[in-house]
Structure 1
Amino acid sequence: MARRALGRATLAVAQAVEAALTPQDTALLVACSGGADSLALAAGVAHVAPRSGRAYAAVVVDHGLQDGSAEVARRAARTLEGLGLDATVVAVVVAAAGGGPEAAARDARYTALRAVAEDRGATLLLGHTRDDQAESVLLGLARGSGARSLSGMAVRAEGLLRPLLGVSRATTRACCAELGLEPWDDPHNADPAYARVRVRARVLPVLEAELGPGVPEALARTADLLRADADLLDALAAEARERVEEDGALDCTGLAALPAALRTRVLLAWLRDLGAHDLIARHVAAVEALVLDWHGQGPVDLPGVRVGRTDGVLRGPT
């Protein structure tokens, strides 16, 4: 298909894909659920990759959490093959986890996707859009999780590539319409039991109605601005942690001397390495009190781990 034959939305998607790639991305693997965003991404890759001599394929994960999920996965694979992508369906088992079913499904999905990408030596592409970015920023704001959470998702991070973070969900749907693709709408994406769904269906529309159009774009722009700051602070915190940590324990005197922005990051990274999960600001504050407001109090229980102070250092489980 000649580039001039592409519709406006499909061209926008293809241009976003092309702009995100580097010469090191010699093989591309699209993670596809069958939804509009990932189908549009697959179509963009199918247009861009052959023109640059890149290998390209797709993988569909079947979580097995809904009746008929296997057929949904097979249908997505057939659609992808119609676009010219070799498609592999991978079934995963979603184990119960402390973070809840949504987190467990995400962990299982990413583990499977990374395994396929590593086996093929391919860059793994995900279909997150600007709307997903805006939702992530609002959720981070509601949790009070700080600059890292508000910085949202990066286009390229941790071996993942998200070319469509500057593209709206409306554009991906329009792309599918232009190409005659019928995306699958995951029922979970309409279930108000999930906070992200409530943000999408209720919160963002109210914000746009009251503040005017362009809220998702502004939130995504905020994420971009904060990400550079968060990256710098995280790097400085990693250096600081090396200075205050010995044998897995943190020296409280050294921690207390750190600026608050670095101290909380050191604590958060340390707690996560110990196995803590679903941490929010009050969890970190409780541990920080062992450093700054020490009066002999007992250990702090967090999701997944207990930490305490002995002999002037913070220790995890022994």
Structure 2
Amino acid sequence: MGPHPAVAAIRLAVRRTLHDVLRDAAGGARSAPDGTGRPPLVLVACSGGADSMALASALAFEAPRLGLRAGGVTVDHGLQPGSADRAREVVSRLAALSLEPAEAVTVTVGRAGGPEAAARTARYTALDEAAERLGAAAVLLGHTRDDQAETVLLGLARGSGTRSLSGMAAVSGSPTGGPGAGRRYRRPFLAVDRQTTRKACMVQSLPVWDDPHNADPAFTRSRVRHDALPALEKALGKGVVEALARTAQLSRDDADALDAWALDAERAVRVAPPAPSPAPRGPAEGEEGTSVAHVTTDAGADTGAVLDVPGLHALPPAVRRRVLRRAAVAAGSPAGSLFARHIEEIDRLITDWHGQRAVNLPGRVAARRQGGTLVIRQV
């Protein structure tokens, strides 16, 4: 007799992800990215909750069968009494699953962006450092279909566009950057619901910890989980979570296509910088690898981009706004602080021009129309 359906579901999801990791590992060779000749190491980020404990159990079962090493990391945010003891307990549970290495990492959570964003930044920074130190080929995260639905709903509420509605990617790089972080994070459970992961833990007698922050109405995601989504299901019927998760995948496909189109369009609308004796950074004008024309100082510091207004005006709005956002970020505006309203204001310099002043953006970046060009640079 085979495993319980819930256990079979989580193992299948992890097995598919591990096959992808193997394909991505150093030219498909079954050796670690650090060149040691050992099998690749895959880590699971485990909080001790049902989702990540189910993920840890599935990784422990599947990895040896594919010739992979499996380990686990838990992050102690230090935000609740007894968090250090809880972290040690999670490490012991990971070790009991034969995950090696199994370790806890303590972080200090700042205040930038609010408590949820600050904790997330600290967590990913710690996971990045652990992955680099241990030479891990990938880090598995326990986000489920329910988490994806919540993310889409939050993006919808922010009105941030298609990319925000695309939710979390099954494979993503680190939000904090760093060497080797391009495809570090894998989310095997985006098509698995939270009920299945909890059931898998129960039938395997895995102890789980329910984070009280997940039920605290002070946190936005908690309100979405316990108030907004149940209200939607009550009003619209069952299936809202599945529909939102499906929307994420469709939106991601659309956003990827539009981003590729915008990259090509960005190259087409770049113009030579008007500054005297410019020293373009990177490849020479007209060569591949340059997305926009860069305005430089005598010292060669990158200060912005110059784009052709008629060329921008001819683009579809969805593509044009992506070009503008890319140019603003390249000029030094922090992506996390650049909102739809900022891009709309820049867009009006192209589509509704009547001599208005420059648009000030986060990061001391300004977008200014100068005749037939749009100049985006730090000021």
Q: TM-score, normalized by length of structure 2?
A: 0.78
Q: Which amino acid aligns with 1:115?
A: E
Q: Which amino acid aligns with 2:190?
A: L
Matched, 1:60 2:74: yes
For 1:19, the equivalent position in structure 2 comes to: 16
Amino acid corresponding to residue 29 of structure 1 in structure 2: L
Q: Deviations over 1:82-117 (max 9, x none)?
A: 1111211112222332x2222122122112212222
Aligned match of 1:175: 200
After TM superposition, the runs of 4+ consecutive aligned structure 1 residues lying more than 6 A away are none
Alignment-derived partner of residue 305 in structure 2: 249
Match in the other structure for 2:234:
209
Would you say 1:280 and 2:339 are equivalent positions?
A: yes
The equivalent position to 2:319 in structure 1, one of 252, 262, 287, is 262
Q: Secondary structure at the match of 2:44?
A: strand
The 2-side partners of 1:63 and 1:182 are apart by 21
Alignment partner of 1:128 is 2:187:
no
Q: Which amino acid aligns with 2:378?
A: P
2:374 alignment counterpart:
313
Verify the 8 A CA contact 1:298 1:308 in the aligned structure 2.
Answer: no
Q: Offset of 1:5 from its aligned partner?
A: 5.5
Contact 2:328 2:365 in 1 (8 A): no
Offset at 1:300? 2.8
**Secondary structure of 2:368's aligned partner:** strand
Structure 1 197/303 Cα, relative in aligned 2: closer, same or farther at 3 Å? Answer: farther
2:166 aligned with 1:151, yes or no? Answer: yes
Q: Which runs of 5+ in 1 are unaligned?
A: none
- Residue 264 of structure 1 deviates from its aligned partner by 0.8
Kept after mapping to 1: 8 A contact 2:349/2:369: no
With a CA cutoff of 8 Å and minimum separation of 6, indicate the structure with the bigger relative contact order. 1
How many angstroms apart in 2 are the aligned matches of 1:296 and 1:95?
42
Residues 63 and 70, structure 2, Cα contact 8 Å, conserved in 1? yes
- Alignment-derived partner of residue 299 in structure 1: 358
Q: Which residue of structure 2 lines up, in the alignment, with residue 289 of structure 1?
A: 348
Q: Give distance in 2, aligned partners of 1:151 and 1:68.
A: 36
Q: Which residue of 2 aligns with 1:111?
A: 125
The Cα offsets for residues 243-279 of structure 1, whole Å up to 9 and x where unpaired, read as 3221131315132232211111122223334233243
In structure 2, relative to structure 1, the CA distance for the partners of 1:28 and 1:167 (3 Å cut) is same
* 1:144–1:280 contact (8 Å) kept in structure 2: no
CA deviation map 1:270-294 (0-9, x unaligned): 3334233243322211122223223
Q: Deviations over 1:289-318 (max 9, x none)?
A: 223223333333444444230533232323
Aligned to 2:283: none
Matching of residue 240 in structure 1 with residue 265 in structure 2: yes
Which amino acid is 1:292 matched to?
T
Distance in 2 between residues matched to 1:94 and 1:236, nearest whole Å: 38
Q: How far is 1:78 from its partner?
A: 1.1
Is the Cα–Cα contact under 8 Å of residues 141 and 150 in structure 1 kept in the other structure? yes
SS for the counterpart of 2:63 is: helix
**What CA distance in whole angstroms lies between the structure 1 residues aligned with 2:132 and 2:356?**
47
Instruction: Identify the residue that residue 101 of structure 1 maps to in structure 2.
Output: 115
| Offset of residue 72 of structure 1 | 1.9
